[in-house]
Each structure stands twice: as C-alpha cells, then as structure tokens.
Amino acid sequence: MTVPASPTTSPPIATAPVSPHLANSEPPRPNRPKPSRLKLTYDIVMLIAISIDLLLISLDAVLMSDFSVNAAQWLSVSEGLSWYQATLHKPLRTAGGFFTIFLVAELLLRWAIAIKEKVYYRWFFFPFVHWYEVLGCFPQLRLLRLFRAVVIGRRLYQLGYQVLPQPWINRIKFYIDLLLEELSDRVILTTIQNFRQELTNPETHKSFIESAITRNRAEIEAAVLSILRSELAPKLQELTASSGGGSLLASEMGNAIEEGLANTPELRRYLRMIPIAGSLIESQLQHVGHNIGENVVYALNKRLLDPARLDALMVAIASGIAQIDTDNSALDTLISSIIDDSLTAFEAQVKVQQWKHQDMLNL
C-alpha cells in the first residue's frame, strides 16, 4: 500500500517595489545586470574629473588667447593676466599632461578587463567602440573627452540618477530639437527649390511626366474606373427607371413622335380622305406613336444600359484614359499646376517653426 505524498506548496513570490524614478522609464533589459556601487562611484568620479579637466582646458585656452590680452589691456588688468600666464599656465599644462597619461593608462586597463571578460566578439573591437576615448587621449583632440562625459551622464540618467536638474535637461532637449528642426527645414527647402528648377527644364519636365504616367497607368485606370462606377453608373442607370429621368426621356420621345405625326401633311391629307373615321384614326395614330416612342426609349435603355454591358463600356473608357498620350500641352499644364501647388503647400508647412509654439516654450 502506497502512501500518497503530501502536496508541496511553493512559497509566494515577493514583488519588489518600483522606484519612482524608474516608474515612467523604459524597463531594463533582462540580461543586463545592475552595475555595482563601485562602478557607479567610479563613473561619477570620472565624470567630475573630466568636467574639471575640460573646464580648466577651456579657461586656459581663453586666458592665453590674444583676445584676453586685448581685453585685459582695455580693463586695465594686464598685471593679473600676466601673473596667470607666468605662474599658473605651466602647472596647469603639466597637470593636464598627467591627466592625459592617467586616461591612457585607464583606457588600457579597461581594454584588458574587456579582453579578460570577453565583452566584445573580438579583442580588438574595444578601441573602435570607444573611438572618442582613444582620440581624446591626444592633446590636440582633448575636447572629445566631452563625449565620454556625455556617455557617462546618459548611463547614469538611464539608471535613474538625476545628473542635471530637470529644467536644464528640458532646455538642452529644446535647443537640440530647435537645431535639428532648423537644419532639416533648410535641407528640405533647398531640395524643394532644386526640384522646382528641374521642373522648369522642358526636357526634364517632359521626361518626369512621361515616366510618372507610364509607371502608374494601372493605378490611373483603376482610379478612373472606380470614379465611373461610383459616379456615372448610377446616373446612367436612372435612365432605365420608369420614374425620374427614364420617364422624362420616354415622355419627350413620345411627344416628339406624336408631334412629328401631327406635322406630317401627307398623312393628314390621306387620313382626311377617309370619311367620318379619318379624324379618329389620326388621333389614335398619334397616341400610338407616343406609346411607341416611350417603349422604344425603355427598350433601348434596357439593352444599352445593361449593368454588364455598361461595366464593360466603363472598363474600355478607363483603359483608354490610362493610355493617354503624354505629348499633350493641356496635360503638361495640369500636372505642372498640381505639382507646383503641392510644393507650395508643403513648403509653407515646412516653414512653420514648431519650436516657437507656446507649449514648447513652457520649459
């Protein structure tokens, strides 16, 4: 006799609280572990060190320029500037050289760690991925160190750390969007202007229209056929109805035949030769002619405006329009006007500066 095993209960899974900084951000990648406290501290220290180094480099470059000499003479502070150039310039250059040596050693150490941990597919991928750090080690390209500061700041920001105040971030994003919008607008407007110049060339304009129509003949035929079926077919099919246009056309045809019989003097003369019944026969003959006219119209409409026959006629018309000859001045004028109006409307839309909207200025 076997004793049934007692059911095992799995412990409840505790849900980790969500940080308010990361509640509205993108979810972290599942295979990317959270960096250690030591790595975060090192990134912050490097960010501060690179920022100070770039600040000192910029300040030294400004104070050693001819502009600073002229400004110091104008402000009567030439002695202070001379003291800086004679006393602090060389130590700052020396400190910058030692910091460059430190960056080279730090870069080599990180390269060795990346090779040991097999971070990249090949060992020589590291300098290509971190090209801005490699080039930033050269004294002439020290401004490229700003890229590393930006990369570190972005990584800290993605981890939920507020590197810069939010108004600063909003202002930076605003000016980046402003710059990109102005650059893209200039490119688009230049392209539109070049396209207009191409259209003014008769040969280019002719080839453009011909190629556009040739490539889209099937679409033109389908569009024309759709318009004919939706707009023209119902109007023509009303002619077959016994009420509305059909009855009006039949009545007019009957009246025309009746009037034609009444205005035929030979028929009236022959009928009046018949005593007593002549006038009655004439009246009945006109009435019969009126009915014949109506019946003829209904019969013609029924045969000529049959749905299948009408649809075949519309297909033939659409096919004929699609095979239109491009050597047509009226067609050239029409297409040129449509293209010019479209470019004008698009150009006006591009000229609208979106960054000037009030909702974008409330930073």
Q: What string of DSSP letters covers 111-138?
A: HHHHHHHT-SSSGGGHHHHTHHHHHHTS
**pLDDT at 128 exceeding the cut of 80:** yes
What pTM does this model have? 0.41
CA 133, 136, 137 angle in degrees (round to 5)? 95
Between residues 136 and 239, which one has the greater pLDDT?
A: 136
pLDDT in tens, 284-342: 777 787 788 777 777 777 766 667 777 787 888 888 877 777 677 777 777 777 877 88
Name residue, tokens 């750090």: 133
Between residues 112 and 277, which one has the greater pLDDT?
A: 112
Between residues 112 and 181, which one has the greater pLDDT?
A: 112
254 burial type by CB count under 10 A (0-12 exposed, 13-18 middle, 19+ buried)? buried
Name residue, tokens 């679409």: 219
Query: Is residue 363 within 8 Å of 167, Cβ to Cβ?
Result: yes
Between residues 11 and 258, which one has the greater pLDDT?
A: 258
pLDDT band at 249 (very low <50, low <70, confident <90, very high): low
pLDDT in tens, 173-185: 788 888 888 888 8
pLDDT band at 108 (very low <50, low <70, confident <90, very high): very high
pLDDT band at 22 (very low <50, low <70, confident <90, very high): very low
**pLDDT at 13 exceeding the cut of 70:** no
Residue 220's closest CA among 317, 321, 316? 321
**pLDDT at 88 exceeding the cut of 80:** yes
Domain definitions of the chain by residue range: 37-163, 202-327
